[in-house]
Amino acid sequence: MPTFPLDLASSLGHWEQYVVYLLIGIGFGIVLEISGFGISTRLAGQFYFRDQTVLKVMFSAIVVAMVLIFGATALGLLDYNMIWVNPTYLIPGIVGGLIMGVGFIIGGFCPGTSLVAVATLKLDGVFFTLGALFGIFVFGESVGVFESFWNSTYMGRFTLPQLFGIDTGIIVVGVVIMALVMFFGAELLEQRFGKKDRKLAPKWRYGAGGTLLAFAGVILVIGQPTSATKWSWVEAEEAPRLEKRAVMVSPAEILDYMYSEQITMQLVDIRSEAEFNTFHIDGAKHIASNQLLTHLPEWQVLTGNNVIILMGNDETAAIEAWKVLVSENVPNVYILDGGINHWIDMFDLSSDDLEVVEQDVADDQLGYTFPVGTVDFMPLARPNPSSYGPFDLEYTPRIELQGKKGATGGGCG
């Protein structure tokens, strides 16, 4: 089981954890001040190619953090799924970045560096911060006007490996190489526009860059943990829930929530496309088992009353799919008790519409045949509760909403 990230609230206490956050914040501010990030003219020089301190310091921090994070996950010391990654809203993010960039050029600060300037009593930093606070107020009062755009092009917890569909180690190596090339280019720009002498720069930077690239290469060789490995980390905690059938949701309970707004169910049918087309529950979405991981960006950030119900013909494949999603820190995942076969067995009211297959079927095979093709319009796909007696739909409630493990929010960056 990975050691990190640490649950400071459990180990230190609710209020004590904020002392750690305060110390980290102070340390971060000190580093920014030492780097000259409290001086607006230095920051603005970034956009005129005279001073590339912003790029070199911030990109160094990002790349080093990336190598340490994925190095720790490769060694099994850290569960990456427990780390908060800001959800991607592509177009609003691009527009917001452009607006912030213009403000950065005009004001000489970004919101974070303006606070560094305020801490050292710089007047331009004070005025910039006041302007930022006013902008936040105006945004909060007017966001309802463009809320649909604000929430558009949502991509969930989306990362570069998912974008390019390649191994994380390749991305790590590629980003490090890109950073080193950018650092070299930044020095050339400073020499050309800022009249800086590259010969005066510290020689140890070559060793630091080479070391970083070497560590990235090690990460590529070791690789990232598989879903099976991640399941072994959580098996001791999660397997008892499976054994006690605490994650098996009765068809009657699902039907109850289909006519209720208490929770938002995502019915995920992992059977073959042919079986799905033959019959599926109303509102179900067909996602093959080998495609589940492609939906992690949207599922890993689910909060509130969202519940995922996995369903196969019986429980065999659904259990394996459940293990994958649970190991990837997807919250509130459940399994249809008995699968589609149990659903049909419970809600079939007409032998004229369904014909039970008399011969034995293999595990996780559909045990019924239908006289027509797609029957998602049939009453069986969305039964009417009034068609059944009060004792026909009795069940033991299984769905209990649980919060996402790990961080559920984060700051900029």
How far is the CA of 302 from the CAs of 1, 166, 247, in angstroms? 24, 25, 18
Neighbours of 314 (CB within 10 A): 22
Rounded to 5°, angle at Cα 320 from 319 and 325: 95
Rounded to 5°, angle at Cα 155 from 404 and 305: 35
Q: For helices 111-119 and 16-34, what crossing angle results, to 10°?
A: 90
pLDDT exceeds cutoff 80 at 155? yes
Structural domains in the chain, CATH included, are: 8-226 (no CATH), 228-387 (3.40.250.10)
Q: With beta carbons less than 8 A apart as the criterion, state whether 305 and 401 touch.
A: yes
Which of 108-112, 178-182, 202-206, 354-358 is most confident? 178-182
- Residue 58 phi/psi, 5-degree rounding, is -70, -40
Q: The pTM is what?
A: 0.81
Task: List the one residue out of 108, 120, 113, 115 whose CA is nearest residue 130.
Answer: 115
Average pLDDT over all residues of the chain: 87
* Contacts (Cβ under 8 Å, ≥6 apart) of 371: 353, 355
Count the helices and strands in the chain (H runs, E runs): 17, 9
pLDDT exceeds cutoff 70 at 409? no
pLDDT of residue 358: 45
Q: With beta carbons less than 8 A apart as the criterion, state whether 126 and 118 touch.
A: yes
What's the CA gap between 148 and 28, in Å, rounded? Answer: 35
Q: Which of 154-163, 244-253, 401-410 has the lowest mean pLDDT?
A: 401-410
pLDDT exceeds cutoff 90 at 199? no
Report helix, strand or coil for 306: strand
The residue with tokens 């001040």 is: 33
Say what the alpha-carbon torsion angle 97, 100, 105, 107 is, to the nearest 10 degrees: -170
- Mean pLDDT over residues 92-104, rounded? 91
Query: Tens of pLDDT along 209-268?
Result: 999 999 999 999 999 999 899 999 889 999 999 999 999 999 999 999 998 888 889 999
- Mean pLDDT over residues 297-318, rounded? 89
Strand extents, DSSP E, 302-373: 306-311, 333-336, 355-356, 368-369
What's the CA gap between 271 and 310, in Å, rounded? Answer: 10
pLDDT exceeds cutoff 90 at 169? yes
pLDDT exceeds cutoff 80 at 394? yes
What's the CA gap between 230 and 403, in Å, rounded? Answer: 19
What's the CA gap between 225 and 206, in Å, rounded? Answer: 31
What's the CA gap between 117 and 131, in Å, rounded? Answer: 14
pLDDT of residue 12: 80
pLDDT of residue 354: 55
pLDDT of residue 6: 74
